[in-house]
Amino acid sequence: MRLAQRPRLLVRPPLLSLAQLAKRYGQLRQRLRYLSQRQASRRTLLGLNDHQLEDIGKSRRQAEREGRKHFWQD
């Protein structure tokens, strides 16, 4: 079987330099920090009372819908 015909899963990805690995690691850390902050904000939103929700222009239903999303959901 020629290389061009091999399924993509069998093709080895190119090796990365140390600088490229460091960059990707930094991007991964940044993404995980963002997801963690988003989940914390959603938990906080669920803890607000009706008066506080009114102050930020959200209804209880909107807050519940947003607060119940998984951390990976936009």
- Residue 50: inside a domain: yes
In a domain, 8, yes or no: no
pLDDT above 80 for 5: no
Task: Report the number of distinct structural domains present in the chain.
Answer: 1
Q: Confirm whether 15 is domain-assigned.
A: no
Question: Is 3 a member of any domain?
Answer: no
Residue 25 lies in a domain: no
Q: Express each pLDDT in 25-53 by its tens digit.
A: 999 999 999 999 999 999 999 999 999 99
Please give the model's pTM, rounded to 2 decimal places.
Answer: 0.68
- HSE-CB at 2 with a 13 A cutoff on CA atoms is 2
Domain span at residue 57 reads: 35-74
- Any domain includes 24: no
Question: Residue 16: inside a domain, yes or no?
Answer: no
